[in-house]
Amino acid sequence: MASAEGQRAGEPVMWVTGGGPGSVPDLPGSFQPSWLSPDQVAAAVGRNGGERPLIGGVVSEETLWACTMCGACMDQCPVFIEHVPKIAEMRRHLVLDESRMPRQAEAALRAIENVSNPYGISHQKRADWAIGLDVPRIGDKPDAEYLYWVGCAVSYDERARSIATSLVSILQVAGVDFAILGVEERCTGDPARRIGNEYLFQERAKQNIEVLAGHGVRRIITSCPHCFNTFANEYPDLGGHYEVIHHTELIDRLITSGRIVLERPIEETVTYHDSCYLGRWNDIFAPPRDILERIPGMRVVEMKRSRREGMCCGAGGGRMWMEEPQPRVNHRRVDQAIETEATRVVTACPFCRTMFDEGIAARGAQERVAVDDIAVYVARSMRPAGAGDPSAASPQTLG
C-alpha cells in the first residue's frame, strides 16, 4: 500500500525489489503487492491437501524475499499493521523449518557461521584496515571509554574502509579514548536474523555479548546503522546492555563541544541519504544534517524522498547478499539524487554507500555525482591536529 502523498508524487513511499508474481507493472518500480491470482491460490490449495497455506496461498514466497525491511510500510500504514515482524517470522519458517531460501542468502549464512562475516573473507583479516594507524586494541587498553565496533562491511569492503580510517582520524584529533576488538570482533548476527536464521543470530549474539562482558564494555560507537540497531534494540533481550552511539551522533557532539573544528572548505552541493535503520527505525535524522551544514562551502539540498519518507537503498532485509531483478531500488534512488543536481551524495551507512556506488555506475553518472560517508567529508574538512591559523585554510575539492 502506498501513501496518498506517494501516489500523488508518482511513486510509492515504500519499495520492494523487482517484479515477480503479483507485481503491478503500471506502478513505478513494479511495486509488488502480496496478493495472488485465483489460479495461484487454487494451485497452492491443491498442493497443500485442500487447505490454503499462508506462504504460497496468501502471500507469495517471492514477495517475502523481496522485502528490504525498510519499515516504510509500517510507518505509512493507517491501521498500524506491523508488516516487518510478520515477514521476518515467515522467513524464519522457510529457513529453519523448510530450508528454503535464495541461494545467495544461504551462502551469506554459511559464511557467517564459518568465518563470522557474510562476505566469506578470512576472520584473521578483520582488522587489516587498521594496519599502520596506531589504533589500540581493547586488550591493550581495557579502560578505554568507548569501544569502536567496526562492523563487517567496513572491515572487509575495500571502498568502505575509508569510513573507519576517517572516523579513527576524527577520534584521534578529538582526543576520544577508544579501542577496537580487532580479530575478537565478529558479525553481530543482524544479516542472519533478517534473512531468517534466528538460531545463528542468537548464537552470534551470545558469543559477542560474552566477549564484550569479558572486556567490561559499556559504551559502543558504530559506523553501521544495522550494528547500531542490533546493539541498541535487540541485544538487550539476550542480556547485552550498552550505551550505543552512531558515529554521526558522536561527530555532531564533538563539533558542538569544539573538540574538532571544521575549517577547510568543501565547495560542493550535497544531498544526504537517510539510512532506514538510522532514520526510520531509530529516529536519527538531525545529527547528519547538522554536521553537513557546519562544513564551510558545502550546500545541502534534499531529495524529494527524505527523512521519514526517505527511500531505501535496497540493501536491507539481508538483500545486500541477494540478486535483485530489474528495476533495482538503488537505481531509482540514484535517479532521485541526480534530480537534485547535487554533485555528491552523503551516506551514513556502509551498505547505502555500496548501493549508491553501484547505482551511479549503472546509470553512467560517474561524471555527475559521487558518494561517500559523512565521516570522510568531516575528516577532509577538519582542522588537523596541531594545525595553525585556520584562516590559512584553502578550499578542498573531493577526488
84-115 confidence digits (pLDDT tens): 999 999 999 999 999 999 999 999 999 999 99
pLDDT at 382: 96
Band of the pLDDT at 384, cuts 50, 70, 90?
confident
Taking residues 236-246, what's their average pLDDT? 97
pLDDT at 76: 84
Q: How far is CA 306 from CA 83, 95, 156, 360, in A?
A: 21, 34, 29, 19
pLDDT at 19: 47
Q: Which CATH architecture has domain 261-392?
A: 3-Layer(aba) Sandwich (3.40)
Domain ranges of the chain: 4-96, 104-252, 261-392
pLDDT mean across residues, the chain:
87
Beta bridge partners of 222: 149, 246
Same fold, 104-252 and 261-392: yes
| C-alpha atoms less than 13 angstroms from C-alpha of 389 in its C-beta half-sphere | 2
Taking residues 386-399, what's their average pLDDT? 44
pLDDT at 27: 36
Please answer whether residues 242 and 219 qualify as being in contact, where contact means their C-beta atoms are separated by less than 8 angstroms.
Answer: yes
pLDDT at 365: 93
Beta bridge partners of 272: 346
pLDDT at 42: 74
Q: 320-344: buried (b, 16+ CB within 10 Å) or exposed (e) per residue? A: bbbebeebbbbbbbbebbbebebbb
Which of 41-50, 217-226, 369-378 is predicted least confidently? Answer: 41-50
Evaluate if residue 332 carries a pLDDT over 90: yes
Q: Which CATH number fits domain 104-252: 3.90.660, 3.40.1350, 3.40.50, 3.30.70?
A: 3.40.50
Which of 6-10, 106-110, 197-201, 368-372 is predicted least confidently? Answer: 6-10
pLDDT at 161: 95
Band of the pLDDT at 30, cuts 50, 70, 90?
very low
Q: How many helices (H) and strands (E) does the chain have?
A: 16, 8
Please answer whether residues 350 and 153 qualify as being in contact, where contact means their C-beta atoms are separated by less than 8 angstroms.
Answer: yes
Coil, strand, or helix at residue 201? helix
pLDDT at 99: 92
Say if strands 370-373 and 178-179 run parallel, antiparallel, or are unpaired.
Answer: unpaired
Band of the pLDDT at 59, cuts 50, 70, 90?
confident
pLDDT at 75: 85
pLDDT, greater one: 322 or 290: 290
pLDDT at 323: 84
Taking residues 60-84, what's their average pLDDT? 87
- What angle separates helix 103-115 from helix 198-214, to the nearest 10 degrees? 30
Evaluate if residue 164 carries a pLDDT over 90: yes
Residue type, 339: E
Evaluate if residue 44 carries a pLDDT over 80: no
User: Over pLDDT 70: what percentage of the chain?
Assistant: 85
Evaluate if residue 9 carries a pLDDT over 50: no
Residue type, 90: M
Which of 261-265, 294-298, 307-311 is predicted least confidently? Answer: 307-311
Taking residues 111-128, what's their average pLDDT? 95
pLDDT at 57: 64
Cβ-proximal residues to 384 (8 Å cutoff; 6+ apart), any chain: 173
Evaluate if residue 26 carries a pLDDT over 60: no
User: Over pLDDT 90: what percentage of the chain?
Assistant: 73
Q: How far apart are the first and last CA of the chain?
A: 41
Q: What is the pLDDT of residues 344-378, one digit of tens each?
A: 999 999 999 999 999 999 999 999 999 999 999 99
pLDDT at 378: 98
pLDDT at 35: 60
Which of 74-78, 322-326, 347-351 has the highest mean predicted lDDT (pLDDT)?
A: 347-351
Please answer whether residues 275 and 347 qualify as being in contact, where contact means their C-beta atoms are separated by less than 8 angstroms.
Answer: yes
Please answer whether residues 211 and 152 qualify as being in contact, where contact means their C-beta atoms are separated by less than 8 angstroms.
Answer: no
From the list 385, 358, 381, the residue with the least C-alpha distance to 371 is 358
Evaluate if residue 8 carries a pLDDT over 70: no
Please answer whether residues 277 and 313 qualify as being in contact, where contact means their C-beta atoms are separated by less than 8 angstroms.
Answer: no
Q: What is the pLDDT of residues 250-274, one digit of tens each?
A: 999 999 999 999 999 999 999 999 9
Q: Is the link from the previous residue into 296 a cis peptide, with omega within 30 of 0?
A: no
Q: 30-43: buried (b, 16+ CB within 10 Å) or exposed (e) per residue? A: bbbebebeeeebee
